[in-house]
Amino acid sequence: MSFKNYMEDVIVEIYNEYKKSHLNYCTCDRCRADAIAIALTKLKGKYAVSPEGEIFARISRDDRQVRADALVVIIEAIEQVGKQPSHS
């Protein structure tokens, strides 16, 4: 499992949980894909300061922190997409 795949999995899982209790956001395929892409970029940015191997070692010991950070960036991404949705 790569670092990138790990982050994608966490983002998708938390996005799916979040939208269950926040039905006021559009979750069409386009908005979902946009929100996930934005959240993934933001989450990777948060962990971009140290070498990937080192980060991954830290993350695998502290999964809860990554999930908490993922939720924050997902909420930001959903709001960003909601303001300027690219769906037609």
DSSP state of 47: T
Closest to 35 measured CA to CA, from 77, 69, 5, 88: 77
State which residue, 4 or 87, has the beta carbon closest to Zn ion: 87
Residues at the site binding Zn ion, with contacts judged by CB under 5 A: 26, 28, 31, 85, 87
| Pair 57, 20: CB distance under 8 Å | no
Q: Shortest gap between Cβ of 36 and Zn ion (angstroms)?
A: 13
Tell me the closest approach of the beta carbon of residue 61 to Zn ion, in angstroms.
37
Shortest-Cβ-distance residue relative to Zn ion: 31
> How many Cβ atoms from other residues are within 10 Å of residue 26's Cβ?
15
Nearer to Zn ion, 5 or 86 (CB): 86
CB distance 39 to 73 below 8 Å: yes
Instruction: Using the minimum distance from each CB to Zn ion, give the nearer residue, 28 or 57.
Output: 28
